Amino acid sequence: MAQDIALRPVVDPALEDSERALLEKSADGLFPATLPLPEEPGLGGRTRAEIWTALAVSAVCALLPVTILWALIGVWPGLAVGLAAQAGLIWVGVQFGFEAFILTVVGVHLLAWLLIVLLGCGTDERQRVARLRHGRYYLAEDFGDDSLRELLGHSPLRRMERAQAAVTAVLQSQVDRDGLLDDIANDVTLPAQQYEIAQRLAELTRLARKVRTAAGDASGSRVEEMLRTQRQALRLSSSALEERVEALERYAENTRAADAAYREWEAVRELEQLGEDMHELVVNTVRDELAVAEIEGLADRSRLQDLHRMLDEAREAGLLVTRFADEPADRRSGGSGRA
C-alpha cells in the first residue's frame, strides 16, 4: 500500500473520548512521547509575547472599542457593546472634560488588559491535555527517519503510516459504517492494535537511536560484532511487527473488496427495484405507440371523410350542370324572353 499521507497523532484508546478527540486533531502543540516534556512557561503558561500583545489590544479596546470588540466577542455583540462604550467615552469627554476622558481610557485600558491576560492567554484546554497525557500519544518525531533503515531494515515512520492507513480504511469503509463488519470489535480492537504498534515502533526507534549513538564513529572487530548482534535483535523484533502491519493491510484490502461488492449489490438491488417501474414504462410506451396509430387512423378517416364530402359536393354540382344542359334551348330562351 504505497500511500503518501501525513501521520496523525496515535493516541491511547484508553483515554476519554473528549481528550482523545482534542489530541487527534493535529500534531500542533503536542510533544513527542520519546522526548522530555518541556517546562511550562510561568504565569499559567502565559508568555511575554502574549502579555505584550494583550497590552496593545487592550489599549485599542479602551480608546476605540467599536473597532475591535467585534473581533473579540463576536460581530453583532461586539458592535453593540463597542458602540455603547464609544458613546460613553465621548459623553465623558463632553461632560467632564479631557482629563476625565484620559483617566477613563487609562482605567478601561488596565481593566481590559487584566481580563485579556487572565481569560484569553495562557494554556488552553488542548495544551493542558497535551501536557497531562504526555507519553500516551505518539507523533511522527517518535518514529525516526530513513537513517534508521540500516539498523532496523525499514523506516519506522513509514511502517506506522501504513498501519494507520490500514486502520483508517477499515473504520471508514461503507461496510463497517453499515454494520456489516464486527463494528464493536473494529472500534475497540483496531485502535488498540494501532496504539500497540506505535508503542513497539517507538521503542525500536529509541533503541536504534541509542545503538547508533553508542557506536558513533568507533570501529574494530568487537564493535562490528556487537553491532551485528544488536542489529539482528532489532530486525527480528521488526520482522514480527511487520507481520502485524501486513495483517492490518490485508484486512483493509479485503474491506475495500467487500466495499466494492457491497456497492455492486446495492446497485443491483436498486436496479431490481426499478424493474417494476421500467415494466410499467414499457407498457405505457406500447400504449403510446398504439395511441399514435389510433390517432393517425382517426386523422386518415377524417381526411377520407373530407374527400367523400368534397366528392359528394362535386357530384351534386355535376348533376346540376347535367340537368341544366339537358333543358330545351327554347325553354331556356323563352324563359329568358318572358323574364
In order, the DSSP letters of 97-139 are -HHHHHHHHHHHHHHHHHHIIIIISS--HHHHHHHHTTTSEE-
pLDDT: is 236 or 46 the higher one? 236
User: In whole angstroms, what is the distance from residue 136 CA to residue 12 CA?
Assistant: 5
pLDDT at 291 > cutoff 50? yes
Mean pLDDT of 201-218: 82
Quick one: what percent of the chain has pLDDT higher than 90?
Answer: 24
> Per DSSP, what are the bridge partners of residue 137?
11
Question: Average pLDDT for residues 106-114, to the nearest whole number?
Answer: 88
Residue range 195-219: mean pLDDT, rounded: 84
Q: What is the pLDDT of residue 209?
A: 86
pLDDT of residue 10: 96
Residue 137 has a pLDDT of 96
Residue 180, helix vs strand vs coil: coil
Rounded CA gap, 303 and 299, in Å?
Answer: 6
Task: Count H helices and E strands in the chain, helices first.
Answer: 13, 2
Say what the pLDDT of residue 123 is.
65
Residue 164 grid cell = 494507520
Q: Give the strand pairing for 137-138 and 10-11.
A: antiparallel
Averaging pLDDT over each range in 110-119, 214-223, 300-309, which range is the top one?
A: 110-119
CB 16 within 8 A of CB 28: no
Question: What average pLDDT does the segment 263-273 reach?
Answer: 78
Average pLDDT over residues 26-37: 90
Q: CB of 30 within 8 A of CB of 130?
A: yes
Percentage, residues of the chain above pLDDT 70: 73
d(CA 202, CA 13): 17
How much is the average pLDDT of 146-151?
79
Predicted local distance difference test score (pLDDT) of residue 7: 92
- Report pLDDT for 219: 66
What mean pLDDT comes out for the span 36-51? Answer: 74
Task: Report residue 288 CA to chain centroid gap.
Answer: 48
Residue 125 CA to residue 133 CA, distance in Å, equals: 12
Q: Are 116 and 69 in contact (CB under 8 A)?
A: no
Confidence check: pLDDT of 50 > 90: no
* Neighbouring residues of 239: CB distance < 8 A, sequence distance ≥ 6: 153
What's residue 324's pLDDT? 45
Write out the E strands in the chain.
10-11, 137-138
Q: How confident is the model at residue 289 (pLDDT cuts 50, 70, 90)?
A: low
- Would you call 145 helix, strand, or coil by DSSP? coil
Q: Can you give the pLDDT at residue 184?
A: 60
Q: Is the pLDDT of residue 336 over 50?
A: no
Is a pLDDT exceeding 60 seen at residue 333? no
What does pLDDT average to over the chain? 79
233-264 pLDDT, tens digit each: 888 888 888 888 999 999 999 988 988 888 88
Give the Cα separation of 116 and 53 in Å (integer): 10
pLDDT band at 3 (very low <50, low <70, confident <90, very high): very low
pLDDT of residue 302: 47
Q: What is the rounded distance in angstroms from the CA atom of residue 319 to the CA atom of residue 229?
A: 130
Give Cα 322 distance to the centre of its chain. Answer: 94
Residue 154 in contact with residue 239, Cβ under 8 Å?
A: no
What's the pLDDT score for residue 42? 62
Q: How much is the pLDDT for 77?
A: 86
pLDDT band, residue 332 (cuts 50/70/90) = very low
Tell me if residue 138 falls in helix, strand or coil. Answer: strand
Residue 239: the pLDDT is 84
Q: Can you tell me the mean pLDDT for 122-142?
A: 88
- Outline where DSSP puts E strands in 121-276: 137-138
Looking at residues 59-69, what average pLDDT do you find?
A: 87
Distance CA 254, CA 190 (A): 15
Rg (CA), the chain: 45
